[in-house]
Structure 1
Amino acid sequence: MNEPIIRFNHVFKAFGNTRVLNGVDLTIHKGEITTIIGKSGEGKSVLLKHIVGLLEPDSGEVLYEGRAIHSLKPKERKAIKSKISYMFQGTALFDSMTVYENIALPLVETTQLKEADIRSRVGRQMEQFDLTESADKYPSQLSGGMKKRVALARAMVTEPEIILFDEPTTGLDPVRKNTVHSMISGYQKKYGFTAVLVSHEIPDVFYISQRIAMLDQGKIIFQGTPAEIRSVRSPEIRNFIQGIENPKDELTGMETRTAVEKRFEQEMARMVSHHIDFSLVLFTFENLAEIHRHIGFLAGQTVLMNFAGFLRQQMGIADTSSRLGLNRIVVLLANTNRERAKQFCERIAQEIHGENLLSIQPYPGFCLSIQAGFAQAASDMSMEELIQQAEMSMNTLLEFKIC
C-alpha cells in the first residue's frame, strides 16, 4: 500500500450557520487516483479547496506528509502549494489568452524560469497533449474536449505531485467524457502524480480509481477500493450508487456492471434448478495504451465504442455484456457451454475487421491486439471466480494490421 500524502483528521468547516464538513476523516495515498463521490452540495469541492489551501478548517487538521498544513510557516506552506495543481470545473481557461499563454501561465506566475525555459516546457506539454497546432488559438475556437486537454496540460506543466480535478468531465459527450478519464489515468500512470477527483460519473470513475471515498452529510462514510464499494451492504451507499449509476454504459451502450451481476445470479439460479449451462467471455484490449500514445485518447475510446457495437450485433437476445474497466469487456452467454463460447469467439475473430474499429488511420504497421478468454460456469461459483477462469484461458483472438 502506498504511503498517505494527504490526511484529514476530524475536519469541520462551516459557512455562516451552514456546516459543510462535519468531522471528515480521509486518507489520500501517494501515487494513486482517489475519487470523492456523493450527492450534490455535500462539500466535495470544499474538500479539494482545503487540500490546495484555498480554505482552512474551523477545527481539525489537514496534514501533508504527516505535517499539519495550517501550523506551518508561510514559506513552508507556499512550498507545498507549489506541488499541487487544480483543474477547475469548466476548465477556467482565460478567454483573452491563447492556448500557449494559458498553459504557460502557472510557470510565469509561480516560477523564476527564463522565457526560453518556459517556451521549452510548454512546447513539450503541448506536444504530449497534441496541442501544438492549436498554440495560437483562443478558447472560443476550441472544442469542449480540446479545452479539457488544455486545462490538463496547464495543470501538469509545473510537474506537480498532486493534481485536483473538480468534475473534469462536466458537459462532455460520452466519448469525450471517457477520453478525459483515459487521459487522466494514462498520464497518472506515466508520471506517477497523486490525483484526487470529484465526480458523479459512476461507474466510469471506478475504472480509473484505486480508491473511492463517499461524502455524506459532511462525513466520509466509505473509503476503499472500487471492488469494495460495489460489495458493501450499506443500503445508504448502495442506493446512492444504483440511483446515480447510468442504466446503460454511455460509451458502449452495454449494461452496467450491477445489471450484469444481477443477470449472473439469475443464470446461476437457472443452472442449479434446471441444469441450463451458461458461460462468460472476457475481451481484453492488450495495447490500447499504444493507441492512446500514437493516435490519441479519443481514438482509443472510438475503438472501444466500435467494438462494443459490433459485439452487441453478434450477441443473442438473452445474452448480456458490460465494461469491466478501461480496456475490458465481459459477455454472459445464456444457454451456452464452453465449446459454444469458444465458437462465439471464433466467429467474432472471423467477422470483425480493422476498419470496423478505427475510424481514423493509425501509423503504418500498427497491430491491434484483442485477447479473449472464456469459461463455463459451475455451481457455487462467484462471478469473480468465473472471470478469473476466463482470464486463465486467454488467447490472442484478434491481431491484425490496420494500414
Structure 2
Amino acid sequence: MSKSKLISIDTSIFGDIAKDFFSENELLHLKAKDTVNHLVINGFIPFITFHHILEILQHDDTDTVLNRWSLFREFPFIAWLRSCDEDAGLGSIVDIHKIEVSLTVDGLGGDVDLLAKTVKDTLVCYTKGDAFVELFQEVYMQIRELGVLNQQRSKEIESISHASDKDIDKIKLSTLFDYQLRSPSDMVTSLKCFERNLCESLQKSGDSKLANPEAVAANFTAKVLHGSIDLFRKDISLYEAYILSSGVRIEQVSPNTTIGQLGRLSVYNKQLKDILNAMCIPAHFETKVPYKTQITWAIWEHFDAAMKFEKFAHGSNMQDKHMCVFALFTDIFTVDKRVCEYFRQLTRKNKTLNVALGSVVKLSHYTNLESLNEERS
C-alpha cells in the first residue's frame, strides 16, 4: 500500500479537473477520472485550507463551484488545515502565523522543522472526502451567497502595490536627512498629482477586473494624506517622523534601509499586532518577535517583492503569497510556471528553506499529475 502524501493542487488545475470530471464529454470525463484515480492509488491526499476554498468560491458560476465541491467526494481522504479558533472552520495563513509567533515568544523561533511539526500535529486534520464536503460546503456557500467575500479588495491591494514606483522603493531612508518638508498646502497639491498618476498606473497595469480605478486612487490618496499629519511634528526629525508614521520602530531600521523595505516592515508590524491582539498577548511582546526570525515572513516577503515586477497586477497574487507558505507542510506543492520560478529563486538564496520545503512541481495541465508516483516525497 502506498504511503500517504499531502499534495496541494493549484486551484486552477483543480478547477480544470472538476470541469472535465463532470463533463458530458466521455473522453474528457475519463481523462480527469484517470488523474484522480492515479492520485488516490498512489496515496496522494489533497491538502485544503481556507485560501484554497476562497479561490474556488470566487468563480462566478454556481454550478462550477458546486462541481468543485463534488470533486472532493472522489477522494477517500482530505487533509485540511483547521483554525486555532475551533469555531472558525478552515484555517488560514493567520493560524500558521499564530503558531510561529507562539513558538518565537517561547524562545523557539527560527526552527523550520519545529514549525512544520507543530502545525502538522496541531492543525492538520484528516476527513473522508464525503465528510469534508458535509462539514464545510453549506456554510461556505452561504458566505458566498451573502457576498461577504470581497473580491475587489484583493484586486485593489495588489493593484496599488503593483503601481508603486520601483525606483522610489530603492531610495534609502538616509535621503530624509537632507530633505526639506513642504508646507501642508504644498503637500496637498503634490498629492493631487500623485492621485492622477496613481489612477493612470492602475488603469495601465492594475488587475484587469479592478472596478473604478478613479475611486481606488482617490481613497488611497486620502489615507496617505491622513497618515502624513505626523510628518509635521516639531519635536522629532523628519527621518524619525516618517519611520514612525509608517508603523515601524526606529530600532527596526537604519539609514541604509530602503523605502521598499520600510513598506514591507510596516505590513509585518501590522500583521504581528493583529496576531498578538488575537492571542491576548501584550503588545510589548512584539519586540520579542523580530521579522528576521519568522519563516513565514521570509517566504511572503520574497514572493511579494518578486510579484511586483510582473507586467500586470493580479488580485489572485494575494492568495498565492499566502498559499506558498503551505509548501512547508506538504509533500507535493503544485504551481504554475511563474510561481515555480519564484520558488527556485527563493531556495537558491535560502538554503534552510531549500531543505524544508516539500517538492514544488510545475504543472501546465492536470494530466501532468500522473507523472507523480509513490517514489516521490
> TM over 0.5, yes or no?
no
Higher helix share: 2
Greater RCO (CA < 8 Å, at least 6 residues apart): 2
Query: Larger % of strand: which?
Result: 1
